[in-house]
Amino acid sequence: MRLAFARRRPGRRPIKDQVVEARQFSARALTAFLIVSAALLLLVARFVYLQVIAHEDFVTRSVNNQVKVLPVPPNRGLVYDRRGRPIAENRPAYRLEIVPEKIDDLEQLIGELGRMVELPEDALERFQRARRQHRVFDSVPLKFNLSEEEVARFAVDRHRFNGVEVVPYLARYYPYGELLTHVLGYVGRIDEDDLDRLNRAGRAGDYRGTTHVGKLGIERFYENALHGASGLERVETNAQGRTLKVLERQDPRHGTDLVLSLDVAVQQAAWDALGDRPGAVVALDPNDGSVIAMVSKPAYDPNLFVHGIGSADYAAILAAPGRPLFNRALTGGYEPGSTIKPFIGLAGLELGVINDSDEVFSGGEFYLPNVSRPYRDWKRGGHGSVNIYEALEESVNSFFYQLALDLGIDRMHDYLAQFGFGAATGIDLLGESEGVLPSRAWKRANFGEPWYPGETVIAGIGQGFNVTTPLQLANGLATLANDGRRFEPRLLFASKEPGDAQASRNLSPLMAQMPVNDPAHWDTVREGMRRVVYGLRGTARAIAPESGWVIAGKSGTAQVAAQALDEDMDEDTAAHLRHHALFIAYAPFEAPAITVAAVVEHGGGGSAEAAPVARAVIDAWRAQEVRR
Amino acid sequence: MKRLLPAWVKWPQLDLPLLVGLFLLMGLGLVVLYSASGGDIGVVHRQAVRLGVGMVALLVLSQVPPHILRIWTPWLYGIGVLLLLATWFFGTGRATNRWLDLGLIRFQPSEIMKLGVPMMVAWYLHPRRLPPDFLTVLGSVAILAVPAVLIARQPDLGTALLVAISGVFALFLSGLQWRVIFGLAAAAVAAAPALWMVMKEYQRQRVLTFLDPESDPLGSGWNIIQSKIAVGSGGLFGKGWLNGTQSRLEFIPERHTDFILAVLSEEFGLAGVLFLFAIYLFIVGRCLYIAALARSTFARLLAGSLGLTFFVYVLVNAGMISGLLPVVGVPLPLVSYGGTSIVTLLAGFGILMSIYGHRNFIR
């Protein structure tokens, strides 16, 4: 059967010698086996090299491969108001991160992600900028604050996106929005300037893994305390960089919680009292220099800046009337007008230029010798003969024209400087304006001109070169109300380190104790201010409270030079609207607990427009204090 | 017992040592595969099923006498060439035209040629006087070159070279004169620049990466670097089964297919590698021994060529994962996870079993 398969050998070919061929084959097979063995030996040599000789090196590389050091960002400290209301919180949120080194075509990827996640137009550009600041193989955030829907949508398609991660984090949130912007400021994404600053301060290491930094306000001023320092985690990761196991952990130092001296209720009262008008309110506790309220209006929502403000939103803020970015309370320079009068009156008494019974006749117009130009009283026909009480109550210009002339500009300057005018108060915020408290030296330095007597006259009613900020006015008044004790105003009321059970109180530094020649002089001025509210002819008698604390105050009207007008004021605007209304007040009269400076821009007369704002703030504070 | 089967069915006469070698290899492969797949028993199951299918092919072919195989050879070769031409026109596959979709099954015609080429060369040399004269060598080269070129055009350079080399081995074993061998080798070296010219961009990239893997550590160099780290960190006795960090943490690419030797090296160290190499060397030696026993030229040349080609897989794969050779898609035979190549390989061993089983018949 099997032999049937045998085939005839082709006859034309030479006869094969099977025996010779078999021997030949065996020789070749042996040769092949030797070659195979030699090749295998070569391979073995290679494996010996890798696994024995270079073993240590590869072990190191294998360990480096799997173990990664990851930063653990600290939780930013929370911020509370004086009553414990949270005013800056951390909320759980998600951000989208990319490891650029793992992506082949970034543009295409961002295009695809854009279909699932709403990305701002300039996402790619911003991402590229952020990327330059990152180390290789660190992830770079593409979008912050993903919506729940976006997180869910990405989760479904996640396997398609190697190198893209949704990362949970704590996002800063300001529950009171624009109400506290000008105090709290906000945090924003770390940019190159911030990095430079951190590097110079040697703090870059504390910021590993941190994406946000305080940009403005309290968030900026207390950045170091609020931020804390990043910890580290040695983790085992797979080739995709996913963490599998935490091997070692150095905990981050979480940020310090801060308690601000602000009272949100008082802040809200001030905000509401200003209404639609641009303006500023600063309220201080004269007993310790703590800031109770600090409002600048209009403002803007700080939450917009936390996740990177879009160009449209930013343009809207820039275009909004009243310049919302401008912090009037801290940097707004206003002519103090008549609110300066109590301080000048006290200067006259303390320096012995007048006493409390000296009278000046007010006839409606005041003349310098040999000068024809009249300096007017606000009341046509004048106030008649007035002493300092009446001069304050009725805000008699002529009295202070005369007093200013008698004091002279330099004595006036030196005395008022003790209340902090013309210098930064030293509050715990950056960018404070110094204002201007003029003197001969100042004018020569700034204008190269001599001082003219007429300038002394108007300086007596707070006009001319005088510029003050609402903060300076409030602090100056606090010094007056507090018998010459002047504090550096402080927003930081207390702080609580992580792990501490209780917050520790932060005390405002006492700046200076003014010399008091005769306490009666101080009482005189303060009595004059009480009469502003309670006197028969008091300029602010309209706000006299029926019940509650006795208020002492002083109104003022700042004239706005034509060139200083806002763009939105045109030539036809009624003259009285070109003036800013000012009012300073403290209460209660017997034991001052709050001093307020209120400015209502384009508000006209101080007593009519700004005094009710100050009253509202005082009432709000009293309500809080009484409830306590 | 024997009565249960018809009288003409002979109980398979298998070469026990070769069979033991194969089972050792497959068993070791499954153990490593379990670790390489991250403890996925499903992968191990599927591989075991494939090995089973391959064993069936082995058993079936072991029953076909070599002279019957010889009669089939031109048909197998012819069909293989036709299918390769078909892939040219109807091929499927992501970037390449390697696969032929026959509705029920998709397969690579190049797999057929892994057996078809050595068989055809052996068939061609069988009736001729050996050592081959010049014309015979030319004919043999033509036989191996046609499918090799077709496969290279798919493009699948690795398989093309393996297919070609299986034919070359048959020629070598037929007693090709050494001067011709050296002459051809010199010609191959001289042709290398020409080969560079016809290479596809990705193929050139692989060669460049091989020459300097650190030039692109995250891109094409990644495979080589991570594989070498896996091997090197394994040391003498390895990190232990299931404990290879490079594989468990997914740093090794293709770790259950082409790079499975890296997993073995990492977890079982040099000891494991030497054990594996010993099995391979034993199998190749046994193949050559069986070839020497064979009584017909066809069987001798075929058996020797299959054994040597099998070893080339090992050489290329091990060279690749240890950074001696560029990355080419060559699996570690009978250990790497993968479909058709396992069946083809075991079918090849079926032929060897047949040659062993029929060693006592002339032709």
Whether residue A7 is predicted with pLDDT greater than 50 in this model: the reply is no
User: Is A13 in CB contact (< 8 Å) with chain B?
Assistant: yes
Shortest distance, CA B236 to any CA of chain A (angstroms): 6
Residue B361 lies in a domain: yes
Which residues of chain B are within 8 Å of residue A44 when distances are taken between CB atoms?
273-274, 277
Please tell me which of the candidates A25, A239, A240 has its beta carbon nearest to residue B292: A25
> DSSP letters along B117-143, please?
HHHHHHHHHTTS-SS--HHHHHHHHHH
Final residue belonging to a domain, choices B138, B168, B198: B198
Mean pLDDT of A37-55: 94
Task: Copy the structure tokens of residue A120.
Answer: 């701002």
Q: Specify whether B256 is located in the same domain as B338.
A: yes
pLDDT band at B192 (very low <50, low <70, confident <90, very high): confident
Whether residue A223 is predicted with pLDDT greater than 80 in this model: the reply is yes
**Chain B residue with minimal CA distance to A44?**
B274
Q: Which residues contact A618 (CB under 8 A, 6 or more apart)?
A: A549, A551, A585, A587, A594, A596
Q: What pLDDT, on a 0 to 100 scale, did the predictor assign at position B2?
A: 47
Which residues of chain B are within 8 Å of residue A4 when distances are taken between CB atoms?
none
User: Is A236 in CB contact (< 8 Å) with chain B?
Assistant: yes
Q: Are B210 and B166 in contact (CB under 8 A)?
A: no
Q: What pLDDT, on a 0 to 100 scale, did the predictor assign at position A570?
A: 47
**Chain B residue with minimal CA distance to A62?**
B229
List alpha helices for A408-498, DSSP H: 409-417, 440-447, 453-459, 470-481
Query: Do the strands A164-173 and A140-143 form a parallel or antiparallel pair, or are they unpaired?
Result: unpaired
Q: What pLDDT, on a 0 to 100 scale, did the predictor assign at position A483?
A: 93
Residues B193-234 pLDDT 10s: 877 777 777 777 777 776 766 666 655 577 888 899 999 999
Paired residues of A94 in beta bridges: A168
| Residue A109 to residue A86: CA distance in whole angstroms | 40
Q: Which percentage of chain B shows pLDDT scores above 90?
A: 46
List alpha helices for A283-360, DSSP H: 303-306, 311-319, 328-331, 341-350
Omega within 30 of 0 (cis) for the link into A73: no
CB atoms within 10 A of CB B74: 14
Final residue belonging to a domain, choices B198, B227, B261: B198
Task: Mutation target for A interface from B227, B288, B314: give the one with most A CBs within 10 A.
Answer: B288
Which residues of chain B are within 8 Å of residue A101 when distances are taken between CB atoms?
218
Whether residue B9 is predicted with pLDDT greater than 70 in this model: the reply is no
Whether B173 and A9 lie within 8 Å, measured CB to CB: no
Of 3.40.50.10320, 3.40.710.10, 2.130.10.30, 3.40.50.2300, the CATH number of A264-299+328-495+505-627 is 3.40.710.10
Cβ under 8 Å to B: A residues 69-108: 101-102
Mean pLDDT of A556-568: 58
Under DSSP, is residue A578 helix (H, G, I), strand (E, B) or coil? helix
Mean pLDDT of A172-176: 95
CB atoms within 10 A of CB B137: 18
Task: Copy the structure tokens of residue A46.
Answer: 């290679």
Shortest distance, CA A179 to any CA of chain B (angstroms): 51
Whether residue B104 is predicted with pLDDT greater than 80 in this model: the reply is no
Residue B2 lies in a domain: no
User: Is A5 in CB contact (< 8 Å) with chain B?
Assistant: yes
* Range of the structural domain that residue B220 is part of: 17-63+200-363
Shortest distance, CA A160 to any CA of chain B (angstroms): 17
Vertex B341: Cα angle to B253 and B220 (nearest 5): 25
Of 3.40.50.720, 3.90.1310.10, 2.60.40.10, 1.25.40.20, the CATH number of A69-260 is 3.90.1310.10
Which residues of chain A are within 8 Å of residue B172 when distances are taken between CB atoms?
28, 32
Is A290 tagged catalytic?
A: no
| Residue A500 to residue A256: CA distance in whole angstroms | 10
Helix (H) or strand (E) holding A386: strand A384-386
Task: Mutation target for A interface from B166, B174, B233, B254: give the one with most A CBs within 10 A.
Answer: B233
- How far is residue A432 CA from its own chain's centroid? 12
Mean pLDDT of A149-176: 85
Q: What pLDDT, on a 0 to 100 scale, did the predictor assign at position A3?
A: 41
Mean pLDDT of A199-214: 84
Q: What pLDDT, on a 0 to 100 scale, did the predictor assign at position A579?
A: 83
Q: What pLDDT, on a 0 to 100 scale, did the predictor assign at position B95?
A: 44
Whether B304 and A55 lie within 8 Å, measured CB to CB: no
| Residue A320 to residue A291: CA distance in whole angstroms | 28
Q: Is A1 exposed, middle or buried (0-12, 13-18, 19+ CB in 10 A)?
A: exposed
| Residue A66 to residue A243: CA distance in whole angstroms | 10
**Phi-psi domain of A448 (left: phi exceeds 0; alpha: psi -120 through 50; beta: other):** left
Q: Specify whether B106 is located in the same domain as B56.
A: no
Q: Is A509 exposed, middle or buried (0-12, 13-18, 19+ CB in 10 A)?
A: exposed
Instruction: Exactly one of A230, A261, A338, A439 is catalytic; name it.
Output: A338
Q: What pLDDT, on a 0 to 100 scale, did the predictor assign at position A476?
A: 96
Whether residue B363 is predicted with pLDDT greater than 50 in this model: the reply is no
Query: Do the strands A365-367 and A374-376 form a parallel or antiparallel pair, or are they unpaired?
Result: antiparallel
Q: What pLDDT, on a 0 to 100 scale, did the predictor assign at position B223?
A: 82
Task: Mutation target for A interface from B249, B276, B295: give the one with most A CBs within 10 A.
Answer: B249
Paired residues of A583 in beta bridges: A555, A598
Final residue belonging to a domain, choices B137, B163, B198: B198
ipTM of the prediction: 0.90
Mean pLDDT of B243-264: 85
Whether residue B305 is predicted with pLDDT greater than 80 in this model: the reply is yes
Residues A83-107 pLDDT 10s: 999 999 999 999 888 877 677 777 7
Under DSSP, is residue B106 helix (H, G, I), strand (E, B) or coil? strand
pLDDT band at A531 (very low <50, low <70, confident <90, very high): very high
* Rounded-to-10 torsion of CA B171, B175, B180, B184: 30
Residues A355-388 pLDDT 10s: 989 999 998 889 988 888 889 888 888 899 999 9
Whether A62 and B300 lie within 8 Å, measured CB to CB: no
User: Is A243 in CB contact (< 8 Å) with chain B?
Assistant: no
| Residue A163 to residue B132: CA distance in whole angstroms | 59
Residue B3 lies in a domain: no
Q: What pLDDT, on a 0 to 100 scale, did the predictor assign at position A564?
A: 42
Q: What pLDDT, on a 0 to 100 scale, did the predictor assign at position A13?
A: 55
Whether residue A566 is predicted with pLDDT greater than 80 in this model: the reply is no
Q: Specify whether B359 is located in the same domain as B229.
A: yes
Q: Specify whether B192 is located in the same domain as B207.
A: no
Of A536 and B340, the one with more pLDDT: A536
| Residue A160 to residue A145: CA distance in whole angstroms | 22
